[in-house]
């Protein structure tokens, strides 16, 4: 087991949604040498800045969170950028980490890497059994290439890298930008904004038939830290809850929790994405004792409370 208190930790993407909570958690357990590069100072798509961040941070461990991400609309509008930026950042960070001889490299993968049609719950060994959903395939495949890199580097160089596949994140501090946000913050914003404006309806993409799995941000952080401390194989590991919910049921729940009384209009001309998403969580429990604790309804209430406080809306 790695004692992280004694390690220098580089966290690309540490200023983002996930990264902010991870840094807080690491500091809480006694980690002091944490280097979080800012994108304005280090463009990690460019190799010169990847080398510079290693020279400046001198890390023992890298937890790579930096990514170009977004919901279905953002993926549809930026497939090339999402592929290129995510591939280059991850591949170059891992390569320079190998050259520097760092102790461990942790890659945060995505449930978007799984094939569009695969038995539910998604088992890690099924990740190569088909092509990802077209709405976010470039992003999912770019992240999946880092799994290939991790496995090949361990085989050839003995490089200790791991790959964690996260279910959809949610929690306080999430991205509520209507253009780039994921489904939970987008729905919360629609319902609360509509309620405050006295609007009689909201419009939601698709038909509500697809399912998703969500993991609360603090559970995800705890899983990442446990894996960083204890897991030392290149086989991917799912981090999730093992519970799926349909988008229709999700909308109904958020409508109820926000107090929105209007009508929900389903825009069936818009894409719904992958038909089902739910991961098998047995390996994380077996390998490093991780199990998500937060009940979904409780997590949603916390996000809604946070958004209301931040925006001063009812």
C-alpha–C-alpha distance, residues 128 and 107, integer Å? 18
Annotated catalytic residue: which of 139, 153, 231, 307?
Answer: 139
User: In this structure, are residues 193 and 36 in contact, taking their beta carbons and an 8 Å threshold?
Assistant: no
C-alpha–C-alpha distance, residues 252 and 42, integer Å? 42
Mean per-residue pLDDT pooled into runs of 10, the chain (314 residues): 96 97 98 96 98 98 92 86 97 98 97 95 97 93 97 98 97 91 94 94 94 98 98 97 97 97 95 92 98 98 96 78
C-alpha–C-alpha distance, residues 145 and 159, integer Å? 16
pLDDT of residue 72: 80
Structure tokens at 110: 């995505």
If you search the block for the tokens 């809306």, which residue do you land on?
Answer: 313
Q: CATH code for 183-209+245-274+304-311?
A: 3.90.25.10
Q: Tell me the C-alpha to C-alpha distance, in Å, between residue 196 and each of 179, 265, 303.
A: 20, 18, 17
Domain spanning 4-171+213-244+276-294, CATH architecture = 3-Layer(aba) Sandwich (3.40)
pLDDT of residue 314: 64
Q: Inter-axis angle of helices 183-197 and 296-311, to 10 degrees? A: 50
- Return the CA Rg of the chain: 19
pLDDT of residue 71: 77
Tell me the domain boundaries of the chain: 4-171+213-244+276-294, 183-209+245-274+304-311
Nearest to 290 by CA among 215, 184, 213: 215
C-alpha–C-alpha distance, residues 267 and 275, integer Å? 16
Please confirm, yes or no, whether 139 is among the known catalytic residues. Answer: yes
User: In this structure, are residues 183 and 257 in contact, taking their beta carbons and an 8 Å threshold?
Assistant: no
C-alpha–C-alpha distance, residues 114 and 144, integer Å? 9
């Amino acid at each position: 087991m790695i004692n992280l208190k004694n390690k220098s930790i580089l966290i690309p993407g540490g200023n983002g949604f996930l990264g902010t909570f991870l840094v807080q958690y690491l500091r809480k357990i006694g980690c002091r040498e944490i280097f979080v590069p800012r994108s304005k100072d280090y463009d990690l798509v460019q190799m010169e800045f990847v080398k510079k961040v290693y020279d400046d941070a001198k890390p023992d461990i890298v937890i790579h969170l930096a990514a170009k991400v977004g919901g279905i609309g953002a993926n549809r509008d930026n497939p090339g950028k999402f592929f290129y930026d995510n591939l280059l950042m991850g591949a170059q960070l891992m390569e320079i980490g190998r050259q520097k001889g760092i102790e461990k490299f942790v890659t945060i993968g995505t449930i978007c890497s799984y094939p569009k049609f695969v038995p539910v719950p998604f088992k890690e060994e099924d990740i190569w059994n088909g092509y990802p959903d077209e709405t976010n395939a470039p992003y999912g495949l770019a992240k999946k290439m880092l799994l290939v890199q991790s496995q090949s580097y361990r085989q050839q160089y003995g490089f200790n890298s791991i790959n964690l596949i996260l279910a959809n994140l949610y929690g306080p501090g999430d991205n509520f930008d209507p253009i780039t946000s994921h489904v939970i913050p987008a729905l919360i914003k629609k319902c609360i904004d509509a309620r405050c404006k006295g609007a009689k309806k909201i419009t939601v993409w698709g038909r509500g038939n697809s399912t998703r799995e969500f993991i609360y941000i603090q559970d995800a952080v705890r899983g990442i830290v446990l894996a960083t401390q204890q897991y030392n194989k290149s086989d991917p590991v799912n981090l999730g809850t093992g519970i799926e919910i349909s988008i229709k049921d999700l909308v109904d729940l958020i409508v109820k929790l926000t107090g929105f009384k209007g009508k929900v209009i389903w825009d069936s001309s818009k894409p719904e994405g992958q038909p089902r998403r739910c991961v098998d969580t047995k390996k994380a429990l077996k390998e490093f004792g991780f199990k998500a604790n937060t009940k979904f309804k409780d997590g949603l209430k916390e996000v809604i409370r946070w958004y209301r406080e931040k925006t001063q809306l009812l």
